[in-house]
Structure 1
């Protein structure tokens, strides 16, 4: 038995509406990207020259001496036992007197900790194979 004409027409209409919506969504994403670029350009032209107008970039080479991160991590793991990257980051920031709530700084320090401990793991000094909530748990290998 043939399909009713009303169903065929409604399906075609549904498909056209779905295609139109997809086109509008693509144009909306493009318009949002354009708006973001215009806002960024405006921000550049509206700067007064205040230090607060420029974003802060983290240069950890000026915060930590050479080898300080490694020695801190190894000593902390020796004293306290296994710790994850977040715990090591919080302890290091506390020790240096840095703002623990600064997410950008915290992430930069965490990446440095992971980098230094992974190089020590390749040498067989630490183990970071276990994870807790998606974060490496580091322990000394004795």
Structure 2
């Protein structure tokens, strides 16, 4: 029998909260982590996961969330450097196989990709969706 996904979402920004809600609705074992308890409250009654108030940059906090059993970790704070740190900690220290940090800075995106971590880069996602929806040709060198 396939192992049920255990996902830690650090940062309940609009993106983080949306991902946590969708994953829990999809049957994932989700733990939402944020330093602000009111951010966790915003998940609302439809959230069928666990919440943890704490600093996702802390190895101890991640351990308390069960990071060693996590199949996925989404780092979705509002700060690229924080997401990079959380991703590295989860991947390198705790061995989480699927680490997905939210990153805006193209230089950090490249660093993560070079380390085998797949970042979620909103402007890249929007750009890809734009060209997919419009069918227009992309010029330049691309990626």
Normalised by the size of structure 1, how large is the TM-score? 0.23
Asked which structure has the greater CA Rg, the reply is: 1
Which is richer in strand?
Answer: 2
Which is richer in helix?
Answer: 1
